Amino acid sequence: MHKEQHVNGSETIRDIVIGMSDGLTVPFALAAGLSGAVSSSTLVVTAGIAEIVAGSIAMGLGGFLAGRTELDHYNSELRREYEEVKRVPEQEKMEVKEVFADFGLSPALQDQIADEMARDEDKWVDFMMRYELGLEKPQPNRATKSAITIGVSYIVGGIIPLSPYFMIDNSQLALYYSCGVTLICLFVFGYFKSKFTGQPEISGALKVVVIGALAAGAAFVMAKLISGK
């Protein structure tokens, strides 16, 4: 039997990618930068945890607001479509015909489909939302779920580059371990992200690693230059 392979839960995967990618990269760059200026891991850990808390809240709120905006936009367009099918039904029928004309259906069949669809206002409006405006109805709890997913993913990603600093007092030495652990995690993360999104896995993973390494390297060099160490 033929089985089609599709990725489900794309919105959740997108939120995890957003939170995890920033969570791995930003605290990693911060820790690298501080390691270039101070020798105490305690200071790095303190600043890193503060950044993770602030970053997860900011990213989570950003996801929540984006979800609420998407829902508000959908509801606004939904009300407008209901008004239009009542006020200008013939024009809305023409728009239905235009959609099916693009599919290559004959004018007679277009008329028949438009007339049948107009019998059920709810399905008519749902069709217009999907195929005229390209809008899918968001889940009612989408904003809250997105905020939690992004925030938790950011925290998980942020703890990884900080973990060596919890165990090693010297920040310079801890940085070496942090680089090793974080770059490996960035590669694994980039690999699975590319796999889920249908991109070449190895090249996608390497791109993520290079971005993280450049961010950390730039922060480290800048801290060295400013501190004069």
Residues 28, 160: Cα–Cα separation, whole Å? 8
From the list 207, 185, 205, 183, the residue with the least C-alpha distance to 195 is 205
Tokens of 150: 């992004």
Average pLDDT over the chain reads 81
Element (H, E) at 201: helix 201-227
pLDDT in tens, 169-214: 888 888 888 888 888 888 888 888 777 767 788 888 888 888 888 8
Quote the longest CA-to-CA distance of the chain: 80
Q: How confident is the model at residue 227 (pLDDT cuts 50, 70, 90)?
A: low
- Taking 80 as the threshold, does the pLDDT of residue 140 lie above it? no
Tokens of 118: 């107009």
Residues 51, 70: Cα–Cα separation, whole Å? 28
DSSP, res 199: S
Share of the chain above pLDDT 70, in %: 94
- How much is the pLDDT for 4? 44
Q: Note the pTM of the prediction, 2 decimals.
A: 0.75
Residues 207, 18: Cα–Cα separation, whole Å? 15
> Which region holds residue 228: left if phi is over 0, alpha if psi is between -120 and 50, else beta?
left
- How much is the pLDDT for 229? 56
Q: Which residue has the tokens 């770059």?
A: 183
